[in-house]
Structure 1
Amino acid sequence: MSYADLQLGALEETLPAPLQRVVWFVFEWIPLVIVAGFWEFASGTFVPSTVLSPPSEVAFVTWELLVAGDIIPHLQVSLFRVAAGLVLSISIGVLLGVGMARVKPVENFFEVFLALIYPIPKSALVPLAILWLGTGTETSVLIVFLACLLPIVLNSYNAAQTVDQNLIWSAQMMGMPSWQIPLKVVIPATIPSILTGIRQAIPIAFIALVSAELIASNQGVGFEILRYSQVGAYTEMFAVLVLISAIAFFAVRGYEWGERKVVRWT
């Protein structure tokens, strides 16, 4: 723990709860305010404002895009793709990770495959996905699924390997069939690690989504970013980037809030 953390912790102990939240809020957002201030100063000073729009102008255009509603259909398409890819990766990743940890043939079969696809940038698979599925939602969902699969599999696998053997023996002594043990014993015991893997996968999902939509879509935020950049509408391009960044940020924060509620009971 750093000296700054110790000082902040000591300060927190002397403040009432409402002021503690204010202090943490200020410390959390100060870096963003500093970056925005430097960005505002640099635009038109070091970098032409036609290339690097100031954040005040970007904020105004972001509001205009939302009020006009032009960006809303694209946001809806992108969020559907993220959700679909995440749901698929969670459903398959948890079962695959637990299966690899508890059944040796499953581990032997999938270990090499996962090791081979891990170092490949998922955006590099977009042309192949276009060949198979065409341009559209299916390709974007596939890229999101592949990008999110590994962190969920690894967290599920590592957690399932460390499950207390006494839990499994107790279930067996109570007459639970072997095929039910992974579903009723192992997976519930690994929930905290599975939730961690999902939290890691959420920002990866947005990265993969935009990468796929830049190449293989005529809808979505990635398509809008590319379209605005091609016509030189850089302020609008920055506005879409800000929107998707904010959505991803609040998606992670909302998930962390829900995760704390769930883990409290696990």
Structure 2
Amino acid sequence: MIALLRLGFLAGLVLLWWVASVQVPRGLFASPLETAAAAGRMLAEDRLAPALMASLRVYATGTLLAAVAGIALGAAMGLWRPFGRTLDIFVYALAATPRVAFIPLIITLLGLGVEAKTLIIFLGAVMPVILNTYTGVLNTDRDLVEMARATGASQGRIFWHIVLPGTLPFLLTGIRLGATIGLINTVVAELYTAVTGLGGLLALYGSRFQMAEYFVVVLTLSLIGVTVTEGLRLAERRLTRWRPQETT
């Protein structure tokens, strides 16, 4: 049912897109057919694939590092309350600060290469992971923890069998949010640093008003976002089968 509703909504969006392309003066807005033709040309001329691979490399690296670091720090903050209470105000402050503000400093320190892009993506993706993991650990069922301690369970067993399963939904939500912000920051990083990847193509085609090619890049980014989000949603469902699932 949901799949049919999504297909219907997508068809409506394509129809609105076509209507807009007819109403707007030619050259300012590309139609769906013009965009499809541009996609064919870009693939045939090998213009899209290299940019896509360049963006995916830095995106995957920055997001993976953010997931690992965010889970570790968030779990540590939740498990050791004084440590968490000390750091949480600084983490919230950093999360509220636009990561774009750090780009000039990052470029000064790391230049315009892959390292700078990776750090920009990392800074965007890591905050939701830290905060969601921290919240998940804090929301662990304390009665279960006390019961496990009363039976002589070690701290490690308590973490793996009680704290981690209870935190998992929060943790996976944080990774999903971080992956989305990481994709946005990938484009931002490519626009502010060396103009490469999909962000570089956006800048190139936008400056030339090649709207069909521009829309191809936008749709490619949207497809990446949907693929990553749905993949993580599927992983979340598989890893949290014990939770009640919504009927579809």
Q: Same fold (TM over 0.5)?
A: yes
Q: Which residue of 1 aligns with 2:20?
A: 42
1:148 to 118, 125, 129: 125
Residues 54-82 of structure 1, C-alpha deviations (whole Å, 9 max, x = no match): 12211221233233322112111211111
Please tell me whether residue 30 in structure 1 is matched to residue 8 in structure 2.
Answer: yes
Residues 207-230 of structure 1, C-alpha deviations (whole Å, 9 max, x = no match): 111111111123211111111222
Q: Which residue of 2 aligns with 1:75?
A: 52
Please tell me whether residue 244 in structure 1 is matched to residue 190 in structure 2.
Answer: no
Tell me the distance in 2 between the aligned counterparts of 1:35 and 1:166.
49
Write the mapping of 1:201-212 to structure 2, written as runs, cut at 5 A.
Answer: 201-212=178-189
Tell me the distance in 2 between the aligned counterparts of 1:178 and 1:257.
30
The answer to which structure, 1 or 2, has the higher relative contact order (CA under 8 A, 6+ apart) is 2
Write the mapping of 1:199-238 to structure 2, written as runs, cut at 5 A.
Answer: 199-238=176-215
8 A contact 1:62–1:243 mirrored in 2: no
What's the RMSD between the two structures over aligned residues?
Answer: 2.2
Residues 199-248 of structure 1, C-alpha deviations (whole Å, 9 max, x = no match): 22222111111111111123211111111222332221111111111111
Structure 2: runs of 5 or more not aligned: 244-248
Q: Which moved more, 1:120-129 or 1:75-84?
A: 120-129
Deviation, structure 1 residue 178: 4.4
Tell me the distance in 1 between the aligned counterparts of 2:101 and 2:213.
27
Name the SS for the 2:137 alignment partner: helix
Partner letter of residue 24 of structure 1? Answer: I
Partner letter of residue 145 of structure 2? Answer: I
Please tell me whether residue 119 in structure 1 is matched to residue 81 in structure 2.
Answer: no
Please tell me whether residue 191 in structure 1 is matched to residue 168 in structure 2.
Answer: yes
Name the SS for the 1:146 alignment partner: helix
Residues 184-204 of structure 1, C-alpha deviations (whole Å, 9 max, x = no match): 652343112211111222221
Q: Runs ≥4 in structure 1, deviation > 6 angstroms? A: none
Q: Give the number of equivalent residue pairs.
A: 243
Partner letter of residue 204 of structure 2? Answer: R
Q: Structure 1 pair 216/55, CA: closer, same or farther in 2 (3 Å)?
A: same
Tell me the distance in 2 between the aligned counterparts of 1:167 and 1:80.
42
Q: Structure 1 pair 36/49, CA: closer, same or farther in 2 (3 Å)?
A: farther
Please tell me whether residue 90 in structure 1 is matched to residue 59 in structure 2.
Answer: no
When the two structures are superposed, what TM-score results if normalisation uses the length of structure 1? 0.82
Deviation, structure 1 residue 32: 2.5
Tell me the distance in 2 between the aligned counterparts of 1:171 and 1:68.
62
Structure 1: runs of 5 or more not aligned: 1-22
Tell me the distance in 2 between the aligned counterparts of 1:103 and 1:255.
28
Q: Structure 1 pair 187/239, CA: closer, same or farther in 2 (3 Å)?
A: same
Tell me the distance in 2 between the aligned counterparts of 1:180 and 1:96.
20
Deviation, structure 1 residue 169: 3.6
Deviation, structure 1 residue 25: 2.2
1:52 to 29, 50, 59: 29
Name the SS for the 2:29 alignment partner: coil
Tell me the distance in 2 between the aligned counterparts of 1:120 and 1:140.
18
Write the mapping of 1:245-260 to structure 2, written as runs, cut at 5 A.
Answer: 245-260=222-237
Deviation, structure 1 residue 167: 4.0
Q: Which residue of 2 aligns with 1:4?
A: none
Tell me the distance in 1 between the aligned counterparts of 2:204 and 2:157.
51
